[in-house]
Amino acid sequence: MRSIDSLVETAGELTDCGLSQGEVADELNVSRETASWLVTQADGETAAAERTGGPADVHVDWSAVGRDSSRLRHLGAIMADLVGDEDGDEAVDLTVGVGRSGAALATSVGRELDSDLSVYVPTKHQWNEGEESEDDTGSFSRNFAAIRDRDCYVVDDNIDTGQTMTETIARIREEGGTPKGAVVLTDKLGRDEIDGVPVYSLIDVVQMAEG
């Protein structure tokens, strides 16, 4: 289990390697706001006792699965079974992975579904707080299958605020594709659908708060 100190240290190391705050958020499975806070703490070398006002968030660490190809294959089979069983659309022959983690999961899911593979690199990979630009946009990797007006499933590791999934769905539709369902490991948002696309998750994360 990672402590806050460990996350702050990791965020600093990732930033030193040239990753944007959006990429740090993706690597640590936290919101962009949390990633920004972690990077700020690392930059300021704030003592642990002085760290207050951090965002309410949940860090998800699934590296025990991600670092083992056999475990990843089994996890992909579970996710494929979940979205395939719930949606049941045999016409879907394309799986779209979102970002690095989503691409790895989508590879395993696509293998189970016997589908082609597409990878979408979201806008947040370019994001740093205070440096937003209207020109920033995500893109589909040309090393993988094109959308080409096809039905598809969307695969990611986590839904936080839903912003990245919303963006991905919109970009797929811009390419003429039809997202038939989305599947993730963990869902912090807790919605059954996003922009009309059903969302399936292995684990729903519910924050408990007073009031």
Mean pLDDT of the chain: 85
Q: Of 168, 158, 157, which is closest to residue 72 (Cα–Cα)?
A: 157
> Which structure tokens are listed for 86?
């719930």
**CA–CA gap between residue 188 and residue 122 (Å, rounded):** 19
Q: What is the pLDDT of residues 23-49, one digit of tens each?
A: 877 777 787 778 788 888 777 655 554
Q: What is the pLDDT of residues 117-150, one digit of tens each?
A: 999 999 876 656 656 555 567 899 999 999 989 9
Confidence band (pLDDT; 50, 70, 90) for 159? very high
Q: What is the pLDDT of residues 86-104, one digit of tens each?
A: 666 667 999 999 999 999 9
**CA–CA gap between residue 34 and residue 21 (Å, rounded):** 9
Tell how far CA 34 is from the center of its chain: 15
Q: Sign of torsion, CA 69 73 78 79?
A: positive
Domain ranges of the chain: 4-50, 63-204
What's the pLDDT score for residue 1?
42
Determine whether 77 is exposed, middle or buried from the number of CB atoms within 10 Å of its CB (0-12, 13-18, 19+).
Answer: middle
63-204: in CATH 3.40.50.2020? yes
What's 161's DSSP letter? S
